[in-house]
Structure 1
Amino acid sequence: MDRVMRLSSQRAVVIFSKSSCCMSHAIKSLFYDLGVSPAIYELDEEPKGREMEKALQRLGCNPSVPAVFIGGTLVNSTNTIMSLHLSGSLVPMLKEAGAIWL
């Protein structure tokens, strides 16, 4: 849990992902398209990925990936991210976190 919390607060946007997850790919693409350069941790490639995945589940991520932190705060699921984007709330949130400057 400590590792996840430490990593999630080191950048404006942090995504915990799995390289084979199509929803993770979609979320990463969305952030790249918005001009965000997130820190990405592929849990299936991380030495302590299994432990990190369990920590994310304890934080309420179900499924565990993609797990998105913006400004150190867990935003959680693909549905939440897409809802924020469609409502026009995601970009202001990213600006406030310092992830984009436009």
Structure 2
Amino acid sequence: MSNTSVKELAKKRAVVVFSRSSCCMCYTIQRLFSDLSVNAAVHELDQEPNGRELESQLKKLGCNPVVPAVFIGGEFVGGTNEVMELHLSGSLVPWFRRVGAIWL
């Protein structure tokens, strides 16, 4: 796993979240996805053997702050603000449906 890149991990599942176990915003995003019945792949950077390398890659992709960093269908969505904007505008659930993350 140590040579796996953010982009490779982001393509392995319909929804991927890069997180830190101590981050309250990360928890909020994970809870939202769980409440929507989305089974996201979560990569806790503080628990991954190559977490610092992944964090560096996320910074290069423009993630600021680095976590949470959300990918849907392999595409970088953004962090908490972007995800909440999508959710409040009614765009998040249809996107999840398009990528097969939910079937409702």
TM-score normalised over the length of structure 2: 0.96
Matches within 5 A, 1:1-102: 3-102=5-104
Deviations 1:42-97 (Å, cap 9, x if unpaired)?
A: 00000000010010010010000000000000001100000000010000000001
Q: Could you say what the CA RMSD is over the residues aligned between the two structures, in angstroms?
A: 1.1
- Amino acid aligned to 2:36: L
CA distance in 2, matches of 1:36, 1:52: 23
Structure 2 unaligned residues grouped into runs of 5+: none
4+ residue runs over 6 A deviation: none
CA distance in 2, matches of 1:32, 1:2: 26
CA distance in 2, matches of 1:18, 1:2: 18
Quote the offset at 1:2 in angstroms: 5.7
* SS of residue paired to 1:47: coil
* Identical columns (%): 60
Structure 1 unaligned residues grouped into runs of 5+: none
CA distance in 1, matches of 2:54, 2:81: 21
TM-score normalised over the length of structure 1: 0.97
CA distance in 1, matches of 2:62, 2:72: 16
